[in-house]
């Protein structure tokens, strides 16, 4: 499994291409690499490593899988192939093939003083597109995903003794194209706002994959709209503040996972940065733990004027009517056995159960 507490530095390199620009100069592309950095162990790192061992031991007792239809499987493979091709070109170290055996987590920090980063990585469920996460199963059971919404903006407001009201990703900017897709535009603003917090200098263009032309807006207008929405924290954009905030949200994440595990030996909470995936029957427990950890950190939750869903929201839940390609009678043993023999996820779960403990 390797070291579970890692310090990683990122550096870029200009790689020459065979093409030339209009001035006859060789074109280059930026390639991103990562390297691990040595550090001295402390009581803090030893405790984090011990906590991760506890978490990984629990995950090892469960089989986490994907239950997909034939069409969904083709869609997933296609999307992963396109993404990995782009990642392999721009950042070879970002290439991560999907392997369901990758279930051990590790934490990645950005400096040897452990002030930035610290998020959990290593689980295959983090690598799939979000549209497939409601297809994740734990020991064959459906799951639900809950997300901390607008966590980094909330952190920054709290640090200044202020309260963030309403959705942090709702801005005054109205796209000239596809304006009726309000949820899609909200996701764009979220992506751009987080990129502005993570960047340590002003960005000349929108983050990769943002497709501003789809919405008929420019990067300059998006930046202006976000700053106008958040005048009290606009000085934090393009300062790299997001990496410091990741340390806070990763500690919050660790606290939620450990608290859920202590509730019952049957519970496992799978982290996806600032969201969690659990057996659907533990949704209420997870909601309570997430709000509780947030309250412990900041002493309160948003006022009644700002609903709790601003902080914790359900971002993925099972679509009960579309899980199987044909109706299954759960009271018919023969039908269930046939399902177990034909569904790849059921076959993998049965094989996992046959492994010696």
Average pLDDT over residues 234-254: 96
Rounded Cα distance between 326 and 237, Å, is 50
Confidence at 263, pLDDT banded by 50, 70, 90:
very high
pLDDT for residue 353 is more than 80: no
- List all residues 6 or more positions away from 357 whose beta carbon is below 8 Å from its beta carbon: none
pLDDT for residue 38 is more than 50: yes
pLDDT for residue 326 is more than 60: no
Check residue 16 and give its pLDDT: 79
Mean pLDDT of the chain: 86
pLDDT tens digits, one per residue of 283-302: 999 998 998 888 888 776 54
Average pLDDT over residues 220-224: 98
Average pLDDT over residues 93-115: 88
pTM of the model: 0.84
Check residue 101 and give its pLDDT: 87
Average pLDDT over residues 29-50: 91
Confidence at 329, pLDDT banded by 50, 70, 90:
low
| Token couple for 336 | 């269930």
pLDDT for residue 320 is more than 80: no
126 neighbors 266 (Cβ within 8 angstroms): no
Rounded Cα distance between 227 and 230, Å, is 5
Is 190 buried (19+), middle (13-18) or exposed (0-12) by CB count in 10 A? Answer: middle
């Amino acid at each position: 499994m390797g070291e579970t507490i890692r310090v990683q530095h990122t550096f870029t390199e200009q790689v020459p291409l065979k093409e030339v620009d209009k001035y006859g100069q060789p074109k280059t592309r930026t390639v991103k690499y990562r390297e691990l950095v040595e550090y001295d162990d402390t009581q803090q790192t030893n405790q984090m490593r011990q906590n991760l061992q506890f978490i990984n031991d629990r995950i090892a007792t469960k089989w986490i899988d994907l239950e997909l239809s034939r069409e969904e499987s083709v869609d997933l493979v296609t999307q992963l192939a396109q993404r990995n091709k782009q990642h392999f070109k721009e950042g070879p170290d970002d290439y991560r093939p999907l392997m369901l055996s990758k279930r051990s987590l590790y934490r990645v920090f950005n400096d040897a003083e452990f002030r930035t980063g610290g998020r959990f990585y290593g689980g295959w469920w983090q690598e799939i597109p979000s549209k497939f996460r409601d297809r994740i199963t734990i020991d064959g059971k459906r799951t639900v995903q809950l997300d901390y919404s607008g966590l980094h903006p909330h952190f920054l407001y709290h640090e200044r003794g202020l309260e963030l009201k309403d959705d942090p990703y709702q801005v005054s900017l109205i796209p000239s194209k596809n304006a009726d897709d309000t949820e899609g535009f909200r996701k764009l603003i979220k992506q751009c706002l987080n990129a502005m917090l993570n960047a340590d200098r002003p960005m000349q263009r929108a983050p990769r994959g943002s497709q501003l032309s789809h919405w008929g807006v420019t990067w300059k207008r998006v930046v202006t709209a976000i700053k106008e929405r958040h005048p009290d924290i606009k000085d934090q954009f393009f300062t790299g503040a997001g990496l410091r905030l990741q340390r806070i949200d990763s500690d919050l994440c660790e606290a939620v996972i450990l608290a859920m595990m202590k509730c019952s030996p049957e519970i496992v909470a799978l982290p996806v940065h600032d969201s969690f995936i659990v057996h659907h029957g533990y949704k209420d427990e997870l909601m309570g733990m997430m709000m509780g950890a947030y309250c412990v950190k900041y002493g309160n939750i948003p006022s009644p004027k700002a609903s709790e869903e601003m902080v914790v929201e359900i971002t993925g839940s099972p679509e009960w009517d579309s899980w199987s390609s044909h109706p299954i009678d759960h009271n018919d043993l023969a039908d269930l056995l046939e399902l177990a023999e034909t569904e790849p996820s059921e076959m993998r779960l049965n094989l996992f159960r046959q492994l010696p403990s």
